[in-house]
Every structure is written in C-alpha cells, then in structure tokens.
C-alpha cells in the first residue's frame, strides 16, 4: 500500500513529493516544504553546528592554552610565596596594620578610641623566620593632644604573632 500526501493547494492525493500536482498543477504540492522551510532548516543546522564547535573548543584546551594556564598558575604561586616571604600576609588588607601590634598599642593608651593607624612597614623574613615591623600611629596623649608615635615589633612568619621590641 502506497502512502499518499495531500496537495497543499487542492487536497488531491499525490505520491511522495512530485515537482507539481497532477490535479491543479501547483509546484511543490507537499505542504510545508517550500524554499523558506529549507532555508530555516539549513540556518538552524548551522547554528547548532557552530554551538557544538564552540562547546568543543571550550572543553578541549589546546596544548598552548594548557601551557599558558600552567604558567599563569605558577606565576600566582610564586607571587603568593613572595607575598608571604615579604610579610604582607601578616598585615591587614584593610589598613596594612598588624592586629597584635594594634591590640598592644590600644591596651597601653589612655584613650584607645583615639587610635588612628598611619602606616606600617615590614621587612622580608630573616633566617630566624621573623619580620621586623615598624608601625606609625596617632593617638591622644595624657593632655588630650593628638600626637604621632611609633612602635617596633618582631612578627613570626609562620603564625603572624607579634612581639613588641
């Protein structure tokens, strides 16, 4: 038994997809198969192929990309090691102070609320595993005047604990 398709113009039964309907003579009698549909199918197929290629390229790194990524990771590790060697890991990201030194200074002030951090300098780690630190700050003295002062400390590289010198 042969399957028939109805002509999109007259409804007559036609086999498969002849170039024109034997009843009314219309070209491309099969419904939905005009040129615009073919264009849509080709366009959609192209979009899918481009998307699949993009996904493949994202998932599969080239050897050059892997080398660049490994070099960037090695550079980040080196930067972190330099950061720790220089003692910056022991300083606040907010104002650059060391919390142990600030705590010590505030405990020894007449008016701890007047404390204002100015600057902190730290040396690279020495052979004993410590950094030398100099913190400058402002605070009110016993007479209520705002004065600048400084404190020296030694900071352990391993746990960032400070000892006032």
149 SS3 class:
strand
Quick one: pLDDT band at residue 108, thresholds 50, 70, 90? very high
Higher pLDDT, 8 or 104: 104
Measured distance CA(129)–CA(60) in Å, rounded: 44
Q: What is the mean pLDDT of residues 49-78?
A: 83
The alpha carbons of the chain give a radius of gyration, in whole angstroms, of 39
């Amino acid at each position: 038994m042969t399957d028939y398709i109805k002509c999109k113009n007259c409804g007559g039964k036609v086999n498969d997809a002849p170039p024109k309907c034997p009843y009314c003579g219309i070209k491309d009698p099969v419904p939905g198969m005009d040129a615009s549909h073919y264009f849509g199918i080709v366009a959609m197929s192209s979009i899918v192929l481009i998307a699949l290629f993009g996904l493949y390229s994202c998932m599969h790194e080239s050897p050059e990309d892997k080398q660049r990524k490994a070099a960037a990771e090695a550079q980040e590790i080196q930067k972190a090691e330099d950061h720790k060697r220089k003692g910056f890991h022991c300083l606040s990201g907010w104002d650059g102070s060391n919390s142990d030194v600030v705590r010590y200074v505030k405990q020894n002030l007449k008016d701890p609320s007047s404390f204002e951090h100015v600057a902190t300098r730290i040396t690279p780690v020495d052979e004993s595993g410590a950094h030398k630190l100099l913190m400058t700050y402002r605070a009110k003295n016993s007479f209520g005047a705002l004065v600048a002062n400084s404190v020296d400390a030694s900071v352990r590289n391993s746990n960032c604990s400070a000892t006032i010198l």
